[in-house]
Structure 1
Amino acid sequence: MAKSMVSGKPLSLMLQFATPLLLGNLLQQTYNIIDAAIVGQILGDKALAGVGASSSIQFLVLGFCMGCCTGFGVPVAKFFGANNLHKMRKYIFNGAVLTGIIALMVTIVCSVCCNQILHLLSVPQDIYDKAYAYLIVIFLGIPFTLMYNYLSSVLRSLGDSRTPFMFLAFSAILNIFLDLFCIVVLKWDCAGAAIATITAQAVSGILCLVYIFKKVQIMHLEAEDREIKGSAVKELLVMGIPTGLQFSITAIGSMVMQSANNKLGSVYVSGFTAGMRIKQFTMCPFDAFATAASVFCSQNLGAGQAKRIKQGLWQAIAVAVGYGIVAGLVMIIFGRPLSMIFVKKSAVDVLDASAKYLRCMGCFYWSLGILNVARMVTQGLGYSGRAIFSGVTEMLARIIVSLGFAGTFGFTAICFADQTAWVTATIYILPTCLYCVKKSTAKIAAGTV
């Protein structure tokens, strides 16, 4: 159900919006964790390393695609907040066309270049075949991933975060059974984990589409809405491509970091993979709070509510930082026991590596709360070009630490690469976000939104 966020208590509205989104993100990460847990516990450390060896390239490619979908939702939220439903539907149609084109192009390029990508990542030879089998399936499933992410982005732009969560919940449960069936019964090894994940995402997307056709009347497109408009395409690309590139640029730094880590051997690849799965799970609240703040500010920009934009920004940052402190302490204290979800107790070296990675990261986890909220609000206000530079600073920081210090300090340098990137990007994006809020306030006052 569509929900306006232009009136009512900002924090309450954002928390209501963020809760289903958070649960959905947690479920999405849950079936990623289930993939890794089943692979690690049933197929062993080598298979776990094979699944995790390409995680940075997945983040790069899928991050670009999902970032584009998120950006395409920003004008939709603005026109919904302004109650301009006719223009909103035109943007939904043009965004769908662009999403389909991106899905086709990215799937073809990535599938053809899969071998070269794994060589670029310096994947160890003893896990290469498993890494390839997993990654090629993920690439072939990109259209299904984009279908769900675009439809859910549009629904969230209308204030409905509950419906995407419900469908994701169903597909997460489905993924558990598919994992066990594909890996344990059919013996499809690492490829089975990828097939289970892609199938679950396809089900989520199809359910979203059916729901929109049956229940969301304001999204039903008339003949006049199904027209490719140059102005709409331009605005969508201006919002979507920088947002996608911001995710991808961040991932380039992660690729360099993972490549440096892969050269340290399969023990550190497995430890890094286990730690990454836990990190990705605990990052879900950051993403939920940031998305809620972005949609809130975007709708209120369309409604001309400058004061509410400022309130939403600061309240979201306060919640995100508070969570970051708590989550950081959990990783510092319980990192090793949590790693046993993926790694057998006998693999002492792998557990040591994962626990060290989480312990180092936990000390700076609070900074990710500021970074994510400020960046997403900047995008939600229409300044995605400025937000992209926070990704550039993250990328440069990771590259400098990975290439400049991994050779001397080994895995210790890898353990501090993320934190360096977060703090550096936060120093840039927070004042930038405040400047964009000020500019948006001036536009509202001048009536030029």
Structure 2
Amino acid sequence: MRKTRDLTEGRVLTSLIRFAMPVFAALFLQSLYGGVDLLVVGQFSHTADVSGVSTGSVLMQTVAMVVTGLTMGITIFVGQKIGEGRREEAGRAIGTGILLFTALGILLTGLLVGGAGTLARLLHAPEEAYEQTCAYIRICGMGGVFIVLYNLLGAVFRGIGDSKTPLVTVCIACVCNILGDLFFVAVLHMGARGAALATVLSQAISVVLSLVLVRGRPLPFQFRPSYLRLDGFYLRRELALGAPIALQEFLVGISFIVIQTVVNAIDVTASAGVGVAEKVCGFIMLVPSSYAQSMSAFVAQNMGAGKAARARAALGYGIATALGVAVVIASFSFFRGDLLAGIFSRDPEVIAQAHDYLRAYAIDTLLTSILFCCVGYFNGCGHTFFVMVQGIVGAVLVRIPVVYLVSMRPHPTLFQIGLATPCATVVQITLCLLFLLWHRKSRSARELPV
């Protein structure tokens, strides 16, 4: 029986790392079972299948980011209520969230399955990989409900201080996906279709397993069947916290879709190269990504308990430790990214293109160590509107314009295109630091005696 963790007690760094490690492991396994799709397809199928999985994955990653952003509203709200000791309110919020996200999953399935062809065209999928891209999007879309419910359950677990249960479920799902990829792609030679089918089945298993594990266990919130209703108060609060994050994630995802679209117009090799590089990026960004999620839950509980100083200390520790790890990872990615890309493809040209793109991402790895910790801190404080604003500025006003400006140059390289990402991150970090200074100054002014 797994116990939830009280994040308001104990040493700050120790508590943060203990909570973040299972989140890191779960994200690693998520990246692994997403990366295995491309790895197996790259080893047992053609470049067109690699391109189809690459292009389809960018879209599905954007969908997952938006859903994760929305569920962050539940993580923050539930974490705050548990920190305040209001167990019934936490349970009612979860009940509303279940109905909200079930409806979202059904809608998502219809859009992806029915619009797969249109989406592939909008993504400028290379003609050689058009059918593979459509198939990947359509089959993954059939698992839309499972994508949503998996993220919802993970958000609830993190909100109550339990980062281990999602780790167990994603570990089993990862094993199932690996076996599925080997069977459908390596044995049945289904290419991109087989990779998508393995992904959907593994997500379904993860959701079912999560529901099994949660039954009969002690929980730090009250829950009754009557709580399964769209309560207007909780619905507004969850959307107020989660919608800004979701919008920001959507626009960030769109900016990366723009990158993939621009690269798709070059040729199928460049398209596959960026797809391979993005899979590698999923791994080299694990530490800041795990801190972003962990920081939100950690800060939410401590702010709910009135321990603002403890929350601020977590931000400092998070940036310092994440940056230390990033120096090592970024150095290796910049100089020997070809070794990492070679894991996912046997084509020397694809590997070379992927390494070129990874050199730009290596720079961004250092910067996101700061940015992601700040974003997690602000989310946990409930400042999700600011998180949305800084994300929109980075995506819409910096990343997309830089990509288009570079693409207009004669023979742009993937390194030059990739530099749009660290450029956006620098601007976002600047905004975060300015907001942090303003917030601390205004807080100090309110606490001065009159």
Q: What amino acid is aligned across from residue 402 of structure 2 in structure 1?
A: V
Q: Deviations over 1:79-119 (max 9, x none)?
A: 01111101110111111111112112222123222211111
Residue 198 of structure 1 and its aligned partner are, at CA, apart by: 1.5
Distance 1:264 1:46, change over 3 A: same
1:304 matched to which residue of 2? Answer: 306
Is 1:63 aligned to 2:76, yes or no?
no
Q: What amino acid is aligned across from residue 407 of structure 1 in structure 2?
A: M
Residue 71 of structure 1 and its aligned partner are, at CA, apart by: 2.1
In 1, Cα distance between equivalents of 2:306 and 2:196: 45
Q: Residue 164 of structure 1 aligns to a residue in which SS?
A: helix
1:294 matched to which residue of 2? Answer: 296
In 1, Cα distance between equivalents of 2:207 and 2:101: 13
Q: What amino acid is aligned across from residue 387 of structure 2 in structure 1?
A: A
In 2, Cα distance between equivalents of 1:236 and 1:342: 39
Superposed counterparts of 1:375-390, under 5 Å:
375-390=375-390
In 2, Cα distance between equivalents of 1:212 and 1:187: 37
**Which of 76, 83, 86 is the aligned partner of 2:85?**
83
2:426 matched to which residue of 1? Answer: 423
Tell me if the contact between 1:257 and 1:417 (Cα under 8 Å) persists in the aligned partners.
no
2:333 matched to which residue of 1? Answer: 331
Q: What amino acid is aligned across from residue 122 of structure 1 in structure 2?
A: H
In 2, Cα distance between equivalents of 1:373 and 1:66: 16
Tell me if the contact between 2:277 and 2:357 (Cα under 8 Å) persists in the aligned partners.
yes
2:112 matched to which residue of 1? Answer: 110
In 2, Cα distance between equivalents of 1:308 and 1:78: 15
Deviates more, 1:106-115 or 1:40-49: 106-115
In 2, Cα distance between equivalents of 1:337 and 1:385: 40
Q: What amino acid is aligned across from residue 325 of structure 1 in structure 2?
A: V
In 2, Cα distance between equivalents of 1:289 and 1:367: 14
2:374 matched to which residue of 1? Answer: 374
**Which of 243, 250, 253 is the aligned partner of 1:251?**
253
Residue 441 of structure 1 and its aligned partner are, at CA, apart by: 7.9
Q: Residue 8 of structure 1 aligns to a residue in which SS?
A: coil
Tell me if the contact between 1:27 and 1:169 (Cα under 8 Å) persists in the aligned partners.
yes
Superposed counterparts of 1:134-145, under 5 Å:
134-145=136-147
Residue 432 of structure 1 and its aligned partner are, at CA, apart by: 2.1
Superposed counterparts of 1:130-279, under 5 Å:
130-219=132-221, 221-279=223-281
Tell me if the contact between 1:285 and 1:320 (Cα under 8 Å) persists in the aligned partners.
yes
Q: Deviations over 1:324-359 (max 9, x none)?
A: 222111101220111111111xx3322211111112
Residue 213 of structure 1 and its aligned partner are, at CA, apart by: 1.6
TM-score by length of 1: 0.94
2:75 matched to which residue of 1? Answer: 73
Unaligned runs of 5+ in 1: none
Q: What amino acid is aligned across from residue 302 of structure 1 in structure 2?
A: G
Tell me if the contact between 1:383 and 1:436 (Cα under 8 Å) persists in the aligned partners.
no
Q: Deviations over 1:259-303 (max 9, x none)?
A: 111111011111111111100111111111122211111001110
2:128 matched to which residue of 1? Answer: 126
Superposed counterparts of 1:2-41, under 5 Å:
2-41=4-43
Tell me if the contact between 2:88 and 2:222 (Cα under 8 Å) persists in the aligned partners.
no
Distance 1:232 1:436, change over 3 A: farther
Q: Residue 248 of structure 2 aligns to a residue in which SS?
A: helix
In 2, Cα distance between equivalents of 1:137 and 1:442: 55
1:340 matched to which residue of 2? Answer: 342
Distance 1:190 1:364, change over 3 A: closer
Residue 436 of structure 1 and its aligned partner are, at CA, apart by: 4.6
Q: Deviations over 1:368-408 (max 9, x none)?
A: 11111111211111111110012212212221111111120
2:401 matched to which residue of 1? Answer: 400
Identity of aligned residues (%): 26
Residue 224 of structure 1 and its aligned partner are, at CA, apart by: 4.8
Q: Residue 7 of structure 1 aligns to a residue in which SS?
A: coil
1:49 matched to which residue of 2? Answer: 51
Q: What amino acid is aligned across from residue 348 of structure 2 in structure 1?
A: V
Q: Residue 125 of structure 2 aligns to a residue in which SS?
A: coil
In 2, Cα distance between equivalents of 1:288 and 1:338: 21
Alignment root-mean-square deviation, CA:
1.9
In 1, Cα distance between equivalents of 2:372 and 2:69: 13
In 2, Cα distance between equivalents of 1:274 and 1:298: 36
Tell me if the contact between 2:79 and 2:160 (Cα under 8 Å) persists in the aligned partners.
yes
Distance 1:104 1:437, change over 3 A: farther
Tell me if the contact between 1:378 and 1:436 (Cα under 8 Å) persists in the aligned partners.
no
In 1, Cα distance between equivalents of 2:445 and 2:219: 35
Q: What amino acid is aligned across from residue 303 of structure 1 in structure 2?
A: A
Tell me if the contact between 1:71 and 1:244 (Cα under 8 Å) persists in the aligned partners.
no
Unaligned runs of 5+ in 2: none
Q: Residue 40 of structure 1 aligns to a residue in which SS?
A: helix
Residue 54 of structure 1 and its aligned partner are, at CA, apart by: 2.9
Tell me if the contact between 2:4 and 2:219 (Cα under 8 Å) persists in the aligned partners.
no
**Which of 413, 416, 433 is the aligned partner of 2:416?**
413
Q: What amino acid is aligned across from residue 420 of structure 1 in structure 2?
A: C
Tell me if the contact between 2:82 and 2:221 (Cα under 8 Å) persists in the aligned partners.
no
In 2, Cα distance between equivalents of 1:317 and 1:380: 15
Tell me if the contact between 1:39 and 1:48 (Cα under 8 Å) persists in the aligned partners.
yes
Q: Deviations over 1:310-335 (max 9, x none)?
A: 11111111112222222111101220
Q: Residue 214 of structure 1 aligns to a residue in which SS?
A: coil
Q: What amino acid is aligned across from residue 366 of structure 1 in structure 2?
A: L
Residue 135 of structure 1 and its aligned partner are, at CA, apart by: 1.1
Residue 217 of structure 1 and its aligned partner are, at CA, apart by: 3.7
Distance 1:267 1:8, change over 3 A: same
In 2, Cα distance between equivalents of 1:59 and 1:41: 22
In 2, Cα distance between equivalents of 1:434 and 1:352: 43
Q: What amino acid is aligned across from residue 161 of structure 2 in structure 1?
A: G
Q: Deviations over 1:385-434 (max 9, x none)?
A: 11001221221222111111112052243221211121122111232245
Deviates more, 1:239-248 or 1:407-416: 407-416
Q: Residue 365 of structure 1 aligns to a residue in which SS?
A: helix
Distance 1:163 1:71, change over 3 A: same
